[in-house]
A and B are shown apart, each in its own frame.
Chain A
Amino acid sequence: SQTIHQWPATLVQPVGSPLSLECTVEGTSNPNLYWYRQAAGRGLQLLFYSVGIGQISSEVPQNLSASRPQDRQFILSSKKLLLSDSGFYLCAWSELAGAGYEQFFGPGTRLTVL
């Protein structure tokens, strides 16, 4: 069966510090990978998605970046965090299943920038 891991679970960082969040998927090959950010109790904002190693599409221009160094590894980074980067970050994977793109989410990382 497939599993998705994210770490760390929680993170408190000062403004201007760097960021690295990691996501790994097990039990599947060549998945589509996604990074989302979620404000409290609200919907998901797609930040990046990747259909293969080294292929990254950015949905929202901001000071975050993403990389996919391996097939099942997806990393979200920032060189200098802003207060507005605080939020709940979710990684997800999907594979084409019929006409749907069902997504399976990791447990999330709660980021607080002070």
Chain B
Amino acid sequence: TQLLEQSPQFLSIQEGENLTVYCNSSSVFSSLQWYRQEPGEGPVLLVTVVTGGEVKKLKRLTFQFGDARKDSSLHITAAQPGDTGLYLCAGTGGYQKVTFGTGTKLQVIP
């Protein structure tokens, strides 16, 4: 069974601070996605990383896929209240199976 553990589980920070969310597994994934979900809505895809060591930037968000394709991180620079939400990583492994992480709930206080 492939498991994806996210840390921290909860994060409450002031506007303007930086933060990093981690997504770790003992399994290798062919690709990894990050999603953001707001309360009462479905998750929205932010990015997909495919190559080990790959770094992608989306405005103030930086995503990195581990060299061994077992882990990933999401770094937010100068967080804003609009970044508040539940962040989910998801890895694609064998047999087209997608495993979602445990989630990180972020609150950015104005």
Size of A's binding interface in residues, CB under 8 A: 26
Residue B19 interfacial (CB < 8 Å): no
Asked if A43 is an interface residue, CB under 8 A from chain B, the answer is yes
Q: Given A43-B103, A92-B42, A108-B40, does the pair A103, B88 have CB atoms closer than 8 Å?
A: no
- Extra contacts besides A43-B6, A96-B96, A98-B50 (6): CB < 8 Å: A41-B86, A41-B103, A41-B105, A99-B30, A100-B30, A103-B33
CB-CB nearest in chain A for B99: A46
Taking CB atoms, residues of chain A closer than 8 Å to B96 are 32, 51, 96, 101
B45 A103 Cβ-Cβ under 8 A: yes
Are A43 and B50 in contact, with the CB atoms below 8 A?
A: no
Tally of contact residues, B, Cβ under 8 A: 23
Q: Which one of A51, A96, A97, A105 has the highest number of Cβ atoms from chain B below 10 Å of its Cβ?
A: A105
Q: Do A102 and B100 form a contact, CB below 8 Å, given A107-B42, A108-B40?
A: no
Q: How far is the CA of A51 from the CA of B43 in the complex (A)?
A: 21
Q: What is the CB-to-nearest-CB distance from A99 to chain B, in angstroms, rounded to a whole number? A: 5
Nearest CB of A to B3, in Å:
10
In the complex, what distance in Å separates the CA atom of A62 from the CA atom of B5? 24
Which of B1-51 touch A at CB < 8 Å? 6, 30-31, 33, 40-45, 48, 50
Scan B78-89; emit 1 where CB is below 8 A from any A CB, else 0. Answer: 000000001010
- Contact in complex: A43, B101 (CB < 8 Å): yes
Min CB distance, B91 to chain A, in Å? 10
